[in-house]
Chain A
Amino acid sequence: MADYKEAPLATRPKTLDPAEYFNLSPEYRRAEEKRAALRAQLKRQYLQQLNNPHRKELIEDPALTRWTYARTNNNYFRPTAKTSLIGGLFGVLPLFALYVVFKSDRDKREAKIKAGTYERPYKLST
Chain B
Amino acid sequence: MLKVLIPTIMLFPTIWLVSPKWLWTTTTAHSLLIASISLTWLKWTSEAGWTSSNMYLATDPLSTPLLVLTCWLLPLMILASQNHITPEPISRQRSYITLLASLQTFLIMAFGATEIIMFYIMFEATLIPTLIIITRWGNQTERLNAGTYFLFYTLAGSLPLLVALLLLQQSTGTLSMLVLQYSQPLQLNSWGHMIWWAGCLIAFLVKMPLYGVHLWLPKAHVEAPVAGSMVLAAVLLKLGGYGMMRMMVMLDPLSKELAYPFIILALWGIIMTGSICLRQTDLKSLIAYSSVSHMGLVAGGILIQTPWGFSGAIILMIAHGLVSSALFCLANTAYERTHSRTMILARGLQVIFPLTAVWWFIANLANLALPPLPNLMGEIMIITTLFSWSPWTILLTGAGTLITAGYSLYMFLMSQRGPTPNHIMGLQPFHTREHLLMTLHLIPVLLLVTKPELMWGWCY
Contacts and interface: CB of A to CB of B under 8 A. Distances in A.
B345 A64 contact: yes
A37 interface: no
B391 A126 contact: no
Given A68-B342, A98-B268, A105-B391, A55 B260 contact: no
Nearest to B257: A103
B345 to A, nearest CB: 7
Main SS of the interface on chain A? helix
Contact of A95 (B264, B308, B309): B264
B260 to A, nearest CB: 6
Interface string B130-154: 0000000000000000000000000
A106 B393 CA distance: 12
Nearest to B422: A50
Interface in A81-110: 90-91, 94-95, 98-99, 101-103, 105-106
B390 interface: yes
Interface string B345-373: 10000000000000000000000000000
The winner among B282, B342, B344 for most chain A CB atoms within 10 A is B342
Contacts of A14: none
Given A71-B281, A124-B388, A50 B307 contact: no
B281 A57 contact: no
A102 B308 contact: no
Nearest to B285: A72
Given A98-B267, A125-B307, A126-B308, A105 B423 contact: no
Interface secondary structure of B, over-half rule = helix
Contacts of A55: 425-426
Nearest to B265: A95
B276 to A, nearest CB: 11
Given A58-B340, A58-B424, A59-B423, A98 B281 contact: no
Nearest to B306: A126
B70 to A, nearest CB: 29
Interface in B326-352: 338-340, 342, 344-345
A62 B385 CA distance: 50
B63 interface: no
B89 interface: no
B191 to A, nearest CB: 19
A51 to B, nearest CB: 10
A3 B450 CA distance: 76
A43 B261 CA distance: 57
Nearest to A97: B264
A68 B285 CA distance: 12
A40 B264 CA distance: 57
Interface of A: 49-50, 55-59, 64, 67-68, 71-72, 90-91, 94-95, 98-99, 101-103, 105-106, 122, 124-126
Given A58-B424, A126-B384, A126-B388, 7 more contacts: A64-B342, A68-B281, A72-B281, A72-B282, A102-B390, A124-B388, A126-B306
Interface of B: 260-261, 263-265, 267-268, 272, 281-282, 285, 306-309, 338-340, 342, 344-345, 384-385, 388-393, 396, 422-426
23 contacts: A50-B423, A56-B426, A57-B426, A58-B423, A59-B423, A64-B344, A67-B281, A68-B281, A72-B281, A90-B272, A98-B267, A98-B268, A101-B390, A102-B263, A102-B392, A106-B390, A124-B388, A125-B307, A125-B308, A126-B307, A126-B309, A126-B385, A126-B388
